[in-house]
Amino acid sequence: MSPRIIIGCAVLAAVLSLILHVAINSPISPQPLSPPSLTFKPNNLLQGVEKLGEGKLHLPEDTCIGKDGKLYTATRDGWIKRQHVNGTWEDWKMIGGSSLLGLAKSMDGDIIVCDGNQGLLKVGEGGLTVLAKDVEGTKILLADDAIEASDGSIYFSDASSKFGLQDWFMDVLEAGSNGRVLRYDPIKKRASILLADIGFANGVALSPEEDYLLVAETLKFRCLKYWLKGEKKGSVEVFVDNLPGAPDNINLAPDGSFWIALIELRSRWLDLIHPYPLVKRTIAAFPKVARELSRMMERRAVVINVDGDGKIKKVLDDSDGRVVSFVTSALEHEGHLYLGSLHVDFIGKFPL
Ligand SMILES: *[C@@H]1O[C@H](CO)[C@@H](O)[C@H](O)[C@H]1NC(C)=O
């Protein structure tokens, strides 16, 4: 055989084995995605935050104000921590693991916790209860954020029914619709599915009248409005879209507007490959490459204030993430915003 034929056969074999490897090993069924273009003028106002609990709060993704008026957060080392009036932080309850995400106040004084591993939990002086780890015969894979209604129902998100917290980036690459919105019924003591096919169901918030629920659809750069009461009950519409970032947690503000944290799920490389499912399928078959790609996200922090009609009223940012970055939640309380983050080891306190 001539060398040319041998080289040709070798190249062909290499290509075929790559195709086979990708076909067997790619965990994703990707969709093309064209993220919206980002246009707003940076103001870097968030560079003025005060750092609460610096060094003591490892990756505090979310915060809530408990029934006792104290500020609570869940840290990546498995603790629920709270701040006393004198400013000190207490390691309040140990839950364990490294997958604690959204928190919410319960009327009975407990704190509701979304554990990206265990499901929907509740913790208080009476101990820890697992409220829901399954829904309608399927596992809750990535409980993400929760809110308790005045009737005791808990609305919460299962960010993905396909990938757990460790593999969240596969969901980003896939850009599919694996998320769900669930409701926990406190009387029947079980969860049911309200909405499915959400592109990473993330933050949830109730309107002041509890007539609708907002849900962040992270991978689609938009938030949805799900009607709980009235003639539109059970229907869903787009609340705000084309956001200059991927929405994470949502919190109702005292004036009836909402604070939405926008995380950076973009980079030059990701934008380049997102429109091409085959490229994404190939990258996902090589976990090390995918992991490198997941580390290349931009670092800035952005939070927006949106009124009840979905109009953006305010944008606050730290455009290059100099002081605070990857802000995942913004909670307004007594004239300040409290910022959670998955990049820093403090809670940002920003005067409004
Ligand atoms: C702060 O308040 C907590 C709770 O009341 C208390 O346990 C702690 O000792 C106080 N710390 C300081 C430094 O005053």
Residues 80-137: pLDDT tens digits? 999 999 999 999 999 999 999 999 999 999 999 999 999 999 999 999 999 999 999 9
Say if 4 falls within a structural domain.
no
| Kind of pairing between the strands at 212-217 and 111-115 | unpaired
Domain CATH for 244? 2.120.10.30
Nearest CA to ligand 1 atom 1: 86
Say if 180 falls within a structural domain.
no
Which atom of ligand 1 is found nearest the CA of 87?
1
User: What whole-number distance in Å separates Cα of residue 79 and Cα of residue 97?
Assistant: 9
Pocket of ligand 1 (CB under 6 A): 84, 86, 88
User: What whole-number distance in Å separates Cα of residue 184 and Cα of residue 142?
Assistant: 15
Say if 346 falls within a structural domain.
yes
Say if 19 falls within a structural domain.
no
Residue 48, burial from CB neighbour count under 10 angstroms (0-12, 13-18, 19+): middle
Q: Are 28 and 285 in contact, with CB atoms under 8 Å apart?
A: no
In angstroms, what is the span from residue 323 Cα to ligand 1's centroid? 28
In angstroms, what is the span from residue 296 Cα to ligand 1's centroid? 41
Task: Give the CA count within 13 Å in the CB-facing half-sphere of 252.
Answer: 21
Say if 293 falls within a structural domain.
no
User: What whole-number distance in Å separates Cα of residue 73 and Cα of residue 52?
Assistant: 11
Which atom of ligand 1 is found nearest the CA of 88?
1
Helix (H, G, I), strand (E, B) or coil at 269: helix
| Kind of pairing between the strands at 138-139 and 143-148 | unpaired
Phi-psi domain of 200 (left: phi exceeds 0; alpha: psi -120 through 50; beta: other): left
User: What whole-number distance in Å separates Cα of residue 305 and Cα of residue 251?
Assistant: 10
Helix (H, G, I), strand (E, B) or coil at 133: coil
Nearest CA to ligand 1 atom 8: 88
Say if 228 falls within a structural domain.
yes
In angstroms, what is the span from residue 84 Cα to ligand 1's centroid? 7
Say if 333 falls within a structural domain.
yes
Q: Are 218 and 176 in contact, with CB atoms under 8 Å apart?
A: no
Picking from 257, 250, 254, the residue whose alpha carbon sits closest to that of residue 218 is: 250
Residue 94, burial from CB neighbour count under 10 angstroms (0-12, 13-18, 19+): exposed
* Mutation pick for ligand 1 pocket among 70, 83, 86 (CB with most ligand atoms within 8 Å): 86
Amino acid residing at 114: C
Q: Which residue has the tokens 């319960």?
A: 106
Instruction: Tell me the residue range of the domain where 85 lies.
Output: 31-98+188-264+299-351
- Sheet with 50-52: strands ordered across: 50-52, 347-351, 336-341, 327-333
Looking at residue 229, what is its pLDDT? 97
Looking at residue 40, what is its pLDDT? 76
Looking at residue 33, what is its pLDDT? 82
Amino acid residing at 64: C
Looking at residue 34, what is its pLDDT? 79
- Residue 8 in tokens: 């040709």
In angstroms, what is the span from residue 22 Cα to ligand 1's centroid? 57
Q: Which residue has the tokens 């490198």?
A: 292
Say if 282 falls within a structural domain.
no
Encode the chain (352 residues) as per-residue pLDDT tens digits: 777 777 777 777 777 776 766 666 788 888 888 777 766 789 999 999 999 999 999 999 999 999 999 999 999 999 999 999 999 999 999 999 999 999 999 999 999 999 999 999 999 999 999 999 999 999 999 999 999 999 999 999 999 999 999 899 999 999 999 999 999 999 999 999 999 999 999 999 999 999 999 999 999 999 999 999 999 999 999 999 999 999 999 999 999 999 999 998 888 888 899 999 999 999 999 989 888 888 888 789 999 999 999 999 999 999 989 999 999 999 999 999 999 999 999 999 999 9
Structural domain total, the chain: 1
In angstroms, what is the span from residue 85 Cα to ligand 1's centroid? 8
In angstroms, what is the span from residue 82 Cα to ligand 1's centroid? 12
Looking at residue 6, what is its pLDDT? 76
Nearest CA to ligand 1 atom 14: 86
Residue 331 pairs in a beta bridge with 338
Residue 318, burial from CB neighbour count under 10 angstroms (0-12, 13-18, 19+): buried
* Mutation pick for ligand 1 pocket among 84, 89, 92 (CB with most ligand atoms within 8 Å): 84
What are the tens digits of pLDDT across the range 141-159?
999 999 999 999 999 999 9
In angstroms, what is the span from residue 88 Cα to ligand 1's centroid? 7
Picking from 258, 259, 262, the residue whose alpha carbon sits closest to that of residue 219 is: 262
